[in-house]
Amino acid sequence: MWSAKRSLPLLGGPNPISLQVTRSKWWKKIIHNVYPTLQERLKELDYKQKDPELYAPVNIGLPQRRPQRREQLESRLNILKEVRKNKSLEREAWKGNLKLDLDKVEADWMNGAGPHQLRVLAQHYGIFEHLFGNAYFVPRVFLNISYDYEDDTVSIVYRGNTIKPKEAASTPNVQFHSDPDSLWTLILTNPDGNLLDNDHECLHWFVGNIVGGDISSGEVVCDYLQPFPPRGTGYHRMVFVLYKQHQHIDFSKYRRDQPCLSLKERSFSTLEMYQEQQDFMTPAGIAWYQADWDPSLTDFFHNTLKMREPVYEYDFPEPYLAKQKYFPLKRQFNTYMDLHRDPKQIKKEILLERLKKLHPFGPEQPPLPFPAAEPIHRDLSSWESRDLKRKRIGAGKYYGLFRGSNRPV
């Protein structure tokens, strides 16, 4: 016997809760099975709800230096007054000849909403979560990073753009505004590229004790290594993080032998490093790009890293198929049977049928001018007639019967 149980209040009660109700009919009675919604179920599985204060995000970046609200309003009002007095700007705008200084626009963006938009974008890419756990920071220092590729080509690092490994083979050029006496640390890591340990990153570059924004004056803790995403692993995030040092730091613990070509020695954890040095440095800037496999990495794995090139393939799960029925209703016979056959065997049959029509030394036969209008013999069954139409126009599984310009229109 089915029994109806209701342990949660329905809509309209004292504590209304949106429920997902499924109905199953038994004789003349309707039995309700009440289940929590997806939102309620995800809330139960969220371990952060047990102690929100413990998992609350923490800002570990530099403090924001805001000008007074009164000064901001006065500067904006003065700009509006000057623009309204200038009639030539209005005339040029109406004519479509008004030009803006893009450098000034970018500078205003950096001093305004730019840092907060970068923080949101970095959170979207999951960078803070994978590098700093529950912590984040607002990038107050903007990084200008570029790679010299060939003679006249430069690949610029923005925020998530794609750069091929062959373009990033050389050490990048990094520039940022800084006081002449300040100290900085620049680290380049790949949170997706550690082939030996999934819980750690791959360290690609580490320069510490940089004086006044001059990268050449810094101490190279770990030399630069180009990105090497293996084939089949998709895009890898290459993240530059700039730290502002409060004093001179001894990085002998993190120093690697140069050139460092051991992937085991390049295993790195940004979170562990920052937990040890958080009293002496503060993250201030960030930039990243994405890199995927290209043919140049074959030579890099063999001749530089002295290892076999790893190749990964994704094992797709088998599609779900309901149990085969003896008499499926409203299903065409042959298409229903093809669902329970090996797709490779079907492609093999289509290929053999195509090869029968091809002459080894002659041109391919032209397609029918009106394949869908060709007559069909009346003795054929309904499913045979539909299958013949698909075969003539190259639809469904018969798509491989025709190639290029020989495909029916």
SS (H, E, C) the chain: CCCCCCCCCCCCCCCCCCEEEEEEEECCEEEEEEEECHHHHHHHHCHHHCCCCCCCCEECCCCCCCCCHHHHHHHHHHHHHHHHHCHHHHHHHHHCCCCCCHHHHHHHHHHCCHHHHHHHHHHHCCHHHHHHCCEECCCCCCCEEEEEECCCEEEEECEEEECCCCCCCCCCEEECCCCCCCEEEEEEEECCCCCCCCCCEEEEEEEEEEECCEHHHCEEEECCCCCCCCECCCCEEEEEEEEEECCCCCCHHHCCCCCCCCCCCCEECHHHHHHHHCCCEEEEEEEEEEECCCCHHHHHHHHHCCCCCCECCCCCCCCCCCCCCCCCCCCCHHHHHHCCCCHHHHHHHHHHHHHHHCCCCCCCCCCCCCHHHCCCCCCCCHHHHHHHHHHHHCCHHHHHHCCHHHCCC
Please check the confidence at residue 56 and state whether its pLDDT lies above 60: yes
Question: 334-390, pLDDT tens digit by residue?
Answer: 888 888 888 899 999 999 999 998 888 888 888 888 888 889 999 998 888 999 999
Mean pLDDT of 274-293: 95
Task: Note the pLDDT of residue 129.
Answer: 93
Task: Note the pLDDT of residue 11.
Answer: 40
User: Poorest-confidence range of 81-95, 116-130, 342-356, 387-401?
Assistant: 81-95
Q: Which residue would you say has higher pLDDT here, 394 or 72?
A: 394
In percent, the amount of the chain with pLDDT more than 70 equals 91
Please check the confidence at residue 24 and state whether its pLDDT lies above 80: no
Task: Note the pLDDT of residue 343.
Answer: 87
In percent, the amount of the chain with pLDDT more than 90 equals 51
Please check the confidence at residue 2 and state whether its pLDDT lies above 80: no
User: Poorest-confidence range of 99-103, 114-118, 132-136, 265-269?
Assistant: 99-103
Angstrom CA distances, 159 to 110, 175, 202, 340, stand at 14, 16, 19, 47
User: Poorest-confidence range of 23-37, 203-217, 367-381?
Assistant: 23-37
8 Å CB contact between 136 and 123: yes
d(CA 103, CA 144): 14
Q: Which residue would you say has higher pLDDT here, 137 or 32?
A: 137
Question: 151-185, pLDDT tens digit by residue?
Answer: 888 999 999 999 999 999 999 999 999 999 999 99
Task: Note the pLDDT of residue 29.
Answer: 56
d(CA 129, CA 204): 19
Task: Note the pLDDT of residue 31.
Answer: 56
Query: Which of 52-81 are b and which e, b meaning 16 or more Cβ less than 10 Å from the residue's Cβ?
Result: eeeeeeeebbbeeeeeeeeeeeeeeeeeee
Please check the confidence at residue 200 and state whether its pLDDT lies above 70: yes
**Residue 30 binned pLDDT confidence (cut-offs 50, 70, 90):** low
Task: Note the pLDDT of residue 382.
Answer: 87
> Under 8 Å CB-to-CB from 402, ≥6 apart: which residues?
367, 394, 408
Task: Note the pLDDT of residue 87.
Answer: 85
Please check the confidence at residue 64 and state whether its pLDDT lies above 90: no
d(CA 209, CA 232): 37
Mean pLDDT of 287-294: 96
User: Poorest-confidence range of 231-240, 249-258, 314-323, 357-366?
Assistant: 314-323
Mean pLDDT of 16-24: 47
Rg (CA), the chain: 32
Q: Which residue would you say has higher pLDDT here, 227 or 42?
A: 227
Please check the confidence at residue 49 and state whether its pLDDT lies above 80: no
Please check the confidence at residue 240 and state whether its pLDDT lies above 80: yes
Task: Note the pLDDT of residue 12.
Answer: 42
**Residue 33 binned pLDDT confidence (cut-offs 50, 70, 90):** low
The pTM (predicted TM-score) of the whole model is 0.70
**Residue 28 binned pLDDT confidence (cut-offs 50, 70, 90):** low
Please check the confidence at residue 18 and state whether its pLDDT lies above 60: no
Mean pLDDT, the chain, as a whole number?
86
Mean pLDDT of 51-78: 82
Task: Note the pLDDT of residue 1.
Answer: 37
